[in-house]
Amino acid sequence: MGAVTKEDLYAFHNCRRIKTVPAMFADGKSIRIQSLMEGERAKIEAKIVRGEMETARAWSIVFSVVDDEGHRVFADADVDFVLALDAAITNELIQAIDDHNELHDNRETKVEEAVKN
């Protein structure tokens, strides 16, 4: 058996998990969420630590929502568009993204740490 090696991890390099969830705000449609890569998660957490909470959730959505072919729906330049969406929609998206990436406790901890500082 033994310990995991770098070669073992190559199977997961640039490999994303995709999850499809119903879109409660759009009857009959679904949302496809891709898993975050470590670099994307780090960018989001850096925004939280720097106190840029107003865009951290939007970046999660930009990085995660994909179309049927697995291409990002939003470009980096679409952050302002995401910020202008109804909060009920973004809350639904963030819930799905956090569930898929197992980020709930991590996001809350980062927010608490940022507030303390």
* Residue 63: predicted pLDDT: 97
| Residue predicted with more confidence, 65 or 25 | 65
Helices (H), 50-86: 53-64, 79-83
Residue with tokens 């996001």: 107
* Residue 82: predicted pLDDT: 97
Tokens for 61?
């959505």
35 Cβ contact partners less than 8 Å away, ≥ 6 residues apart: 16, 17, 18, 64, 100, 101
The residue count for the chain: 117
**Are 101 and 94 spatial neighbours (Cβ–Cβ below 8 Å)?**
no
pTM score = 0.80
Region 100-115: mean pLDDT is 64
Render pLDDT for 55-105 as a digit per residue (tens, 0 to 9): 999 999 999 999 999 999 999 999 999 999 999 999 999 999 999 999 866
DSSP 23-39: -TTSTT-EEEEEPPPHH
* Residue 10: predicted pLDDT: 84
Domain 19-116 has CATH 3.30.160.620: no
* Residue 106: predicted pLDDT: 55
Using only the alpha carbons of the chain, give its radius of gyration.
15
* Residue 12: predicted pLDDT: 82
* Residue 70: predicted pLDDT: 94
Whether residue 116 is predicted with pLDDT greater than 80 in this model: the reply is no
